[in-house]
Structure 1
């Protein structure tokens, strides 16, 4: 078996997204199905049977987070401590700057399905492939939004062979890197609104994230359900 060529595979997926297509690719917290246009995201929603109230998450890195999210210094340090200090994956929700180039590139239909009350969720620090495709998104100013490659309410998929055919059939590119890192959790990323410290979803590494916030910031998250 050859060594994975992350740069080439990320470029292949990103090119499909730039062209209005759909890509399925690996992140540490499962497989993501993503688009970069209102049309592609609408096709994903339909195939997943996803309720309009469920939003997409932006694929972003810490550089994008710092430039796009609006948080005070303490909240920003929480995100940095979790993702850079402890190298944990995180879904960070925060108010966003509407003038940011990636937001400006997003067409209105996609913006409606990817933001709520002036906030946007962003998946940060989710592994080597995620890091590479985030870099392409940022440097070439093409937004990527996605969600777990599953049918609604059927659980995150950690192997390509477990992804439903309905989603594989609409993908222009599928990148298969085998079993994903945090499969033991059987959950996607933990989602926290850092403007309010509300836990929106208990997910992978939740107990580790809660420990970081308790020890470094005296913030007590609720117990995992």
Structure 2
């Protein structure tokens, strides 16, 4: 992974700098266009201001007497200018460190046997990852999962390795049931269809397993 960043980081930074320069120019133009649009459409500003007024006891705001103009087809002057989207940096110099912190922490947490030192170290790496993540991407990029993951070491202490309580097996079964053809059954027929299909697949697997084990025994007997 560091080799990828060493190879392409410079180009990515140059591309981001070019996009940022263009974004600043587009943003300046947008502000100018927006001011000109406001001068041409003062009624839109008054309407927006009136809708923000606080009313009491259900009393509606006082009408300004200006009705919004209908937009004519092909008249771009009536369209409110849209601000340009800020550029995104596709590669950051600190991302390899972030990835290694997260990967090392997950490697420790996914162990089949863990001690308290491993859990403490994994939590330390998770915190380093999250703090650096916030520094690199900003608080707006943080998600609830970033908070929930720091409770994983405590859950391992309470319930054992993650293989004892994670839900991957349940989710896999849900995916299996979801892929069955239910023929638009409803009113109780859907459950029967799912059960019959699942039971049929279980029997097929058993038959294949018995055949393979029997064939292996015959081969061993002939030898």
Structure with higher Rg: it is 2
Greater relative contact order (Cα < 8 A, sep 6+): 1
The TM-score with structure 1 as length reference comes to: 0.21
Greater helix share, structure number: 2
Greater strand share, structure number: 1
The TM-score with structure 2 as length reference comes to: 0.21
